[in-house]
Amino acid sequence: MAFNCELKTINAIATISVSGELDRKAAPDFQAKVEEASKQDITALVIDMNELEYMASAGLRVLIFAKQHMPNVTVYVVGAQELVADTIEKTGFNESIVMLSKYDAAIIEKN
């Protein structure tokens, strides 16, 4: 399945919805959206992974890039499927972000 990502920003919350397979070829597209979000005045970055089937280490590097370049922004990963969540958890990066099984406005929109 082809990779697709879209960025939407509402009330200081940037959401990047990703779908398909996030491999090394798709990672630059994902990084471009993260960079675009980093230029905005946001308090939260939500990565909606409900439709993401696969994530290679290149995708994980973009998540790390997001956290490093937006140290004052909370990064949420929402809806990661088991294989994707395992990739994040095995590296310990889940300790640097907030992982949620579904979008929870009470948590994400609290700021």
Cα 46 to its chain centre, rounded Å, is 6
* Unique residue bearing structure tokens 């946001």: 42
β-pair partners for 18 = 5
| Residues of the chain falling short of pLDDT 50 | none
Q: Taking each helix axis from N to C terminus, what angle separates 57-69 and 27-38, rounded to the nearest 10 degrees?
A: 10
What are the backbone angles phi and psi of residue 102, rounded to the nearest 5°?
Answer: -150, 165
pLDDT of residue 82: 95
pLDDT of residue 110: 83
Domains of the chain: 4-104 (3.30.750.24)
pLDDT of residue 1: 79
Predicted TM-score (pTM) of this structure: 0.95
End-to-end CA distance of the chain: 36
